[in-house]
Amino acid sequence: MKDLRDYTYDGLKDLVERFGERPYRARQLHAWLFRGGVESIDEMTDLPKDFRRRLRDGGFYIGVVEVLKTRRSVDGTVKLLLGLEDGSGVECVLIPDGKRLTLCVSTQCGCSLGCRFCMTGGIGPGRNLRLSEMTAEVLAASSLVGSGLIEGYGRITNVVLMGMGEPLLNYDEVLRFITVLTDPKAMGFSTRRVTVSTAGVVPAIKRLGRDADINLAVSLNATTDVVRDRLMPINRRHPLKELLAALRSYPLRKGRRITMEYVLIKGVNDSRDDAYRLVRLLKGIPCKINLIPFNPFPGCGFERPGHERVETFWRILSDNHYSVVTRASRGMDIEAACGQLQGKRGL
């Protein structure tokens, strides 16, 4: 059995050719699958009946991902738990903010990288999500938004690949997902409104710079290898020097900057020395910095720094001419904030 939403436009062109159908059928299929959000082959009413039957007989279908639960935070953030075909659960989060409604999409069930400040890392490696499953997150969330889930927002404006998992460890499928997301004839998001966030898989960052024209965010979180090794085991494979060199040579379109995510953890990476080191480390990298005061969870062994500490860190960066914002954690009460996604069924 093959889910038609696992095919990009190029794949659909090949498929249509194999079935001996006219090439424009691929465009029709593509639009139904990624714009129309149909749930069965028979809903694609402008395809000949016989073609639809042959698709079904050939083992093709359109997978339906169930929204098992929605939880709404007091701050307006909404977390969706989706049930996948194999029984696993995956979460995505809608974050309303001014004119923007951002969807934070998961790219894996679980994560093998084990960052110490992240609950997803704590559940261990799961599996890569397929194109059909990542697009299902967008389609499910879009449909709920379209039906008035979040007052004042008619559609999703931005997509960040920053939910469960490390996108660049699911590289090929994520690249296909980006293709569908940004294809004007599919989901149609502007490349400026799509961001991939990585923990620092350096070889894949280099590839991404060549393969895709989207925004890059990097979860940095430390200014020395000793601390980063402790917080993010991937640093032992790709230490800071290697990561920063890759960012320095990352091809950026005019006016674009890399977003540096820095989770501030009390007594671990939030000192004045850290702030000054960060100023030096990021020199020459066109970037903006997001400071995220840590969201503690049971058993993590870390604490959130006090307001003054965060303010001092912010000021040092700002005084050194970095564009820096302290991101208010969104959706903490529903465990939808950064590093809190677990995809547990029944949440």
Residues in touch with ligand SF4 (CB under 6 A) = 111, 113-115, 118, 120-121, 164-166, 199, 219, 339
Nearer to ligand SF4, 305 or 339 (CB): 339
Nearer to ligand SF4, 33 or 196 (CB): 196
Minimum Å gap between C-beta 110 and ligand SF4 is: 8
In Å, what is the CA distance from 31 to each residue of 68, 155, 205? 26, 18, 30
Is the CB of residue 341 less than 8 Å from the CB of residue 119?
Answer: yes
**DSSP secondary structure letters along 57-92:** HTTEE----EEEEEEE-TTS-EEEEEE-TTS-EEEE
Nearer to ligand SF4, 133 or 166 (CB): 166
Nearer to ligand SF4, 137 or 166 (CB): 166
255 torsion bin: left (phi>0), alpha (psi -120 to 50), beta (else)? left
d(CA 339, CA 307): 20
Minimum Å gap between C-beta 118 and ligand SF4 is: 3
Quickly tell me which residue has 């004119």 as its tokens.
99
Is the CB of residue 230 less than 8 Å from the CB of residue 250?
Answer: no
In Å, what is the CA distance from 318 to each residue of 279, 287, 289? 9, 12, 10
Residue 287: closest CA among 187, 205, 220, 201: 220
Nearer to ligand SF4, 13 or 238 (CB): 238
Residues carrying an active site annotation? 91, 338
Nearer to ligand SF4, 83 or 114 (CB): 114
- Compute how many other C-beta atoms are within 10 angstroms of the C-beta atom of residue 13: 18
Q: Which residues lie across from 91 on neighbouring strands?
A: 81
Nearer to ligand SF4, 15 or 220 (CB): 220
d(CA 258, CA 243): 13
Minimum Å gap between C-beta 240 and ligand SF4 is: 16
Minimum Å gap between C-beta 42 and ligand SF4 is: 38
Q: Which residue number is nearest to ligand SF4 in terms of Cβ?
A: 121
Minimum Å gap between C-beta 300 and ligand SF4 is: 12
d(CA 13, CA 1): 19
Minimum Å gap between C-beta 64 and ligand SF4 is: 26
Minimum Å gap between C-beta 338 and ligand SF4 is: 8
Q: Which residues lie across from 194 on neighbouring strands?
A: 159
Residue 310: closest CA among 268, 345, 264, 276: 264
State the burial class of residue 177 (Cβ atoms within 10 Å of its Cβ: 0-12, 13-18, 19+). buried
